[in-house]
Structure 1
């Protein structure tokens, strides 16, 4: 299967199955390191993502039991598979404590050097009218996420994800010749494109290849 799919496995096998401690690399670059039982994630194992994040979890024959996600800078976010209470109660960058993780570790900067992202190097450059999502940017007019260098990553099909991005992420406003600007809330074109992209008839037409 690995030969056909582009994935790779390093570790012991038993009767053709991945067994015990091994390392499995998916075609998209995500790596699983941990225990296998008859080819399935079983016991303790970690998913390691290309952006530096990792998901440390416990598995039962391929089913997630519980786990914690660590961002590239070790900021922890965790929740059980069937309990979203941790997500709902996550208090990072909320009104009661607006500090970035870097500021929690190293303290606040003086006036004039205040961070507007968690990256001490400052925010990434993104095109006007797009949203910074941390490992790329979201273009609402194309309903897609791109790498910072402009390379396409994936489409955003979920209306819930689109809403979360536009409500929570940094927006690079459109600037006009008279130096006025338009933020995400007032951008009528973006609003119309989001509304259009959420139209189920358009989605069905795209999937059938009939959309123009």
Structure 2
């Protein structure tokens, strides 16, 4: 596993993962649960580096039934999903805690929003630097290189450091006018 950047701590049988254990992927996603013959097998949980998790029952490395929970606690629902659809655009924290008062817009699901590094974009799971085309987590860990389609989407739709400066400037100007 040292060659692929993964690690395993737990029970083994015949040199393979077997029993209860913790498998850590190179991107720091972790599987904690039951193994059999070197594969996820039985009850287990995937913990993603962004804080989300997937609890499932596995058979020979394949998820047979599971539940995904986003980092903010929102439980994914396959049917009758009404979160962030065309009719209700509130963030999950706004649904749980209510809307912010007038004049205190909530720009992200985190309030106050994360400070975006100069020249970067907030792409939802981390910051994107268009000069290097690299997405890093909010804790500065490498996540991925952006392909052309993702680059175009981020540049077109995501919050930027310079927009935040403009918003701050507009608020300062509007408070001076009052």
Say whether the 8 Å CA contact 1:125–1:148 is kept in structure 2. Answer: no
- Which consecutive residues of structure 1, in runs of 5 or more, have no partner in the other structure? 80-85, 180-212
Q: What's the CA shift for 1:118?
A: 0.4
2:160 to 165, 168, 172: 172
Structure 2 residue matching 1:65: 3-state secondary structure: strand
Moved over 6 A (4+): none
Give the Cα–Cα distance (whole angstroms) in 2 for the partners of residues 3 and 174 of structure 1.
41
1:124 to 115, 120, 140: 115
Structure 1 residue matching 2:88: 3-state secondary structure: coil
Q: Determine if the alignment matches structure 1 residue 113 to structure 2 residue 104.
A: yes
When the two chains are superposed, the root-mean-square deviation of aligned CA atoms in Å is: 2.9
Paired residues, number = 164
Q: What's the CA shift for 1:156?
A: 1.9
Give the Cα–Cα distance (whole angstroms) in 1 for the partners of residues 128 and 67 of structure 2.
25
Give the Cα–Cα distance (whole angstroms) in 2 for the partners of residues 142 and 91 of structure 1.
36
Q: What's the CA shift for 1:100?
A: 0.8
TM-score (norm: length of structure 2) = 0.73
Alignment-derived partner of residue 134 in structure 2:
144
Alignment-derived partner of residue 50 in structure 2:
51
TM-score (norm: length of structure 1) = 0.63
Alignment-derived partner of residue 76 in structure 1:
75
**Are the structure 2 counterparts of residues 163 and 43 from structure 1 closer, same or farther at C-alpha, using a change threshold of 3 Å?**
farther
Q: RCO greater where, 1 or 2, for CA within 8 Å and sep 6 or more?
A: 2
Q: What's the CA shift for 1:171?
A: 2.6
Per-residue Cα deviation, 1:91-133 (whole angstroms, up to 9, x for no partner): 42233111111111111111022311100222432434x4312
